[in-house]
Amino acid sequence: MTDDIKVIFSSNLNRLMKQRNETATDLSEKTNIAYSTVNDWKNGKKMARGGNLQKLADHFGINVSELTSDNASDEIPNIFPVGEMVSIPIIGEIACGDPITAEENIIGYRLRSKDGLVSGNTFYLKAYGDSMEPKIPNGADVLIREQASVEDGEIAAVLVNGDTEATLKRVHYQNDSILLIAENSAYQPYIVNEDNPARILGKAIEVSFNL
């Protein structure tokens, strides 16, 4: 981690604390984060990660990017009333053996309105490549509801290659095998069977991407 990101984070944190008229002691007590850790953040000695970044974002009512971006606004945004938005983790590459939502796998968070959000545990999976285009563009964030199975023909997040790679594919059941089908016809089906196991992580619900 470069010193630059620590400085940016420290600057944003100090700005937000000043706007709230909060001391390091105040922030420590309100977020249940050790005072020494908060003080290190304020002084640019350390960088918050994963769960602690989200704690700070929730405390200030902002997106995580407001803490890590060097062009963060001088004013605390108040676009949505508190309680109407939920922060959902975005999963990138999968670390072998870790749960899907382990801190090591999380590359960021995306704010999503609670209105119309499916029940159950959810996460976003970052789509890489063109295998699911045009339905799912490269770089899109796909909302996944955790579930161990899906109906025939539905798109799912599936863990393959020894639980080290999460892929988005349409699931088709065929006899004793499962076919993972890409939307892009240039890709051959991925066959799941006893010799080539895989595990369904959840059902794809919606796609989000920035223009």
Residues 157 and 145: their CA atoms lie apart, in Å, by 9
169 is catalytic: yes
Q: What are phi and psi of 174, to 5 degrees?
A: -140, 105
Say if CB 129 and CB 182 are below 8 A apart: no
Cis ω before 134 (30° cut-off from 0): yes
Catalytic residue, candidates 6, 10, 42, 169: 169
Q: At what angle do helices 24-31 and 35-42 cross, to 10 degrees?
A: 130
195 CB contacts (<8 Å, ≥6 apart)? Answer: none
Q: Which of 6, 10, 131, 203 is catalytic?
A: 131
Q: Is 131 a catalytic residue?
A: yes
Residues 6 or more apart whose Cβ sits within 8 Å of residue 211: none
| Helices 24-31 and 3-20: angle between axes, nearest 10 degrees | 90
On whether the CB atoms of residues 164 and 94 are closer than 8 A, the answer is: yes
Pairing label, strands 122-126, 141-146: antiparallel
Active site residues: 131, 169
